């Protein structure tokens, strides 16, 4: 059950560039937070920006009643959070949304992360390893500086394949290229499930790849969110589930952010929900 709390900052670890790890005390998020879920959070004293921001839960520590977020300071909301000092508080509602679901036994989870989309896969790896399942990570970014969370996966014994658009670290090119190579190498013997979090173009590429190869994929979407609990209806995405004759706008905050990739109607893919409605209105 999500709970609204003022949460003190109890840990801050600046990383390279604009990245930072922030740890807050929130007993319910620490106890119940699952990989793929998120919190709505903003620095308590900040008037601007107005709205809280959604961030994936990267780690939880039920014993210390804390959770950790991985931030890239890209705007005023993330900057105000990153500027918090120890003991200062943020207003936080969580845990929210639907988490990733673990694969069936015998299926290898392949996690595909783009940039700060790495956050949920840290917690997901911990959850999977606790069930005796070893995931594999494909971690891509624009440059080496965008691949900030590597050591924890090495420590956990999760195999990581890095890639960068500019070739400064790992494979030179898209994160999906080494993923495809891994699937090819396994041949028909391999059984895989894909999990993706990152920029929409990457998610869409993973969804296409999964469809082509007949794999199941779960994608974590990241639209603008107003409230996190399904009341503002600002974060809806067109979703068409099996058996439905047309897409329906569904809240990413309550019915996602993790969706089955097959159900997502991607931008530019087909007519969206309301463009159909508009056509109906003008009699087209």
Interface with another protein by CB under 8 A: which range of 18-26, 49-57, 65-73, 138-146?
49-57
Among 83, 172, 233, 270, binds another protein (CB under 8 A): 233
Using rule CB under 8 A, residue 281 touches another protein: yes
Phi, then psi, of 127 in degrees rounded to 5? -65, -45
Helices (H), the chain: 27-32, 76-82, 119-130, 151-156, 176-186, 200-213, 273-281
Q: Is the dihedral of CA 144, 23, 160, 193 positive or negative?
A: negative
Q: How far apart are the C-alpha atoms of 167 and 146, rounded to whole Å?
A: 12
Tell whether omega for the bond before 245 is within 30 degrees of 0, i.e. cis. no
CB of 71 to another protein, least distance (A): 18
Q: Does 284 bind another protein (CB under 8 A)?
A: no
48 binds another protein (CB under 8 A): yes
Question: Cβ 218 to another protein, closest distance in Å?
Answer: 21
**Residue 195 contacts residue 209 (beta carbons within 8 Å):** no
CB closer to another protein, 82 vs 265: 265
Residue 37 CB, shortest distance to another protein, in Å, is: 15
Nearer to another protein, 55 or 192 (CB): 55
Q: How far is the CB of 226 from another protein (least distance, A)?
A: 5
Q: For the window 254-273, what string marks contact with another protein as x by the rule CB under 8 A?
A: x-----------------xx
Whether 111 and 127 have beta carbons less than 8 Å apart is answered as no
Q: Which is nearer to another protein, 11 or 223 (CB)?
A: 223
State in angstroms the smallest separation of the CB of 12 from another protein. 23
Are 221 and 117 a contacting pair, CB within 8 Å? no
Q: Which two tokens stand for residue 198?
A: 């990152």
As a whole number of angstroms, the longest Cα–Cα distance in the chain is 60
Q: In this structure, what token pair is assigned to residue 226?
A: 């107003």
Q: Which residues contact 157 (CB under 8 A, 6 or more apart)?
A: 129, 134
226 binds another protein (CB under 8 A): yes
Smallest separation (angstroms) from another protein to the CB of 75: 9
231 scored as a contact of another protein (CB under 8 A)? yes
Selected from 191, 224, 241, 270, the binder of another protein by CB under 8 A is 224
Binding site for another protein (CB under 8 A): 1-4, 42, 47-52, 91, 93, 223-224, 226-227, 229-238, 248-249, 254, 272-275, 277, 281
């Amino acid at each position: 059950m999500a709970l609204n709390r003022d949460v003190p900052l109890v840990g801050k670890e600046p990383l390279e560039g604009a990245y930072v790890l922030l740890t807050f005390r929130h007993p319910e998020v620490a106890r119940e937070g699952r990989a793929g879920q998120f919190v709505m959070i903003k620095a308590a004293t900040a008037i601007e920006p107005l709205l809280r921001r959604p961030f994936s839960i990267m780690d939880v520590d039920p014993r210390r009643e804390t959770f950790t977020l991985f931030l890239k300071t890209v705007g005023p909301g993330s900057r105000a959070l990153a500027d918090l000092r120890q003991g200062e508080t943020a207003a936080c509602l969580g845990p929210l949304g639907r988490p990733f679901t673990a694969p069936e036994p015998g299926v290898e989870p392949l996690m595909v992360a783009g940039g700060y989309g790495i956050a949920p896969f840290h917690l997901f790896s911990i959850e999977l390893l606790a069930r005796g399942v070893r995931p594999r990570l494909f971690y891509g970014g624009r440059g080496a500086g965008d691949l900030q969370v590597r050591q924890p996966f090495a420590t956990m014994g999760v195999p990581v394949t890095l890639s960068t658009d500019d070739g400064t670290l790992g494979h030179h090119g898209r994160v999906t290229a080494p993923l495809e190579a891994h699937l090819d190498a396994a041949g028909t013997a391999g059984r895989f499930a894909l999990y993706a979090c990152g920029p929409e173009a990457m998610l869409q590429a993973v969804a296409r790849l999964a469809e082509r190869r007949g794999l199941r994929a779960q994608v974590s979407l990241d639209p603008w969110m107003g409230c996190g609990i399904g009341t503002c209806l600002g974060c809806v995405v067109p979703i068409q589930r099996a058996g439905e004759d047309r897409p329906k706008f569904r809240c990413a905050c309550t019915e996602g952010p993790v969706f089955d990739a097959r159900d997502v109607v991607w931008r530019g893919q087909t007519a969206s929900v309301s463009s159909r409605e508009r056509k109906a209105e003008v009699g087209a």
